[in-house]
Amino acid sequence: MDITDVAERPQSQGVYPFKLERITGTLGAEVQGVDLGGKLSDELIRQLTAALVEHKVLVFRDQPITTDQHIALAKRFGPLEIHPFTQPSSGFANSDERPEVIRIESTADRPSAAATWHSDVTFRQTPSLASILRCRVAPAYGGDTVWADMEAAYNGLDEATRDWISGLTAIHDWEAFRQNMRRNGVPQERIDELVREHPPAEHPVVRTHPVSGRKILYVNLTFTTAIKGLPNDESQALLRRLSAQAHRPEYQMRLRWRPDTIAMWDNRSTQHYGVGDFHPQHRLMERVTVAGDRPF
């Protein structure tokens, strides 16, 4: 079953066969009474999908699932994505045995890999739909993840700005990964080959959620490099202004990790930031990602 098959549900009227506790007044809910390693009916997957669209981030505590169960869970929501640019030396690497799984590991000699605001792989023509992140090793303090509701960020803009950006297109590129590859000694010939395989993508500055129909601010300073058709100085100023919407605490939720915590988020309507305040402690996460479709 594909996550996009779920019927639209009014965002404030969800009634679910499990307990939900909201995390903030804007986004995020903790799900109780669901064993993610157990047998999940199609109806339960539909209800979890609807809750994800409504709350944007779902948190599940005390879920000691195996890697195979993690993959099987993600497949219930759609086809899986394999990240094209991970490298073991960066602490952000595909598993050798199961390439659908990304290991995100920080140690005393390796910094956090995700300490920037972003939506996953917006440089792809079809960015991720949803990610399911599992905590294997949590630091004793720090290392939280913060999410921002980019639907709320869009609604928080003044009307004139919303009108201005409604027809604009943004260019997304993976230059951040290229810089990391160069630091880690990847030959330029190989980087050039990957650029040909994964050219820059163009997405609307304001995308429409394919399930809820709501408008979402869809730019981030990690992968969005320009606004198409604007002079560079005007383009960069607008990108900085729009991306700053994610920084407002009113649009955010923050998760304190502990082992066997799982977070699932709607990559279409959120950005996230891995807080790098826990070094030199060890932190190990595993992520499986549901492939998405082209934003509109």
Active site residues: 118, 120, 272, 287
Cα 160 to chain center, whole Å?
Answer: 28
CA dist., res. 73 & res. 286, Å (int): 13
Whole-angstrom CA distances from 71 to 17, 63, 100, 269 are 23, 14, 8, 23
Counting Cα atoms < 13 Å in the Cβ hemisphere of 107 gives 8
Q: Cβ–Cβ contacts within 10 Å for residue 148, how many?
A: 29
Per the listing, tokens 């993600």 go with 74
- Evaluated on CA atoms 91, 97, 99, 101, the torsion sign reads negative
Cβ partners under 8 Å of residue 33, min gap 6: 18, 19
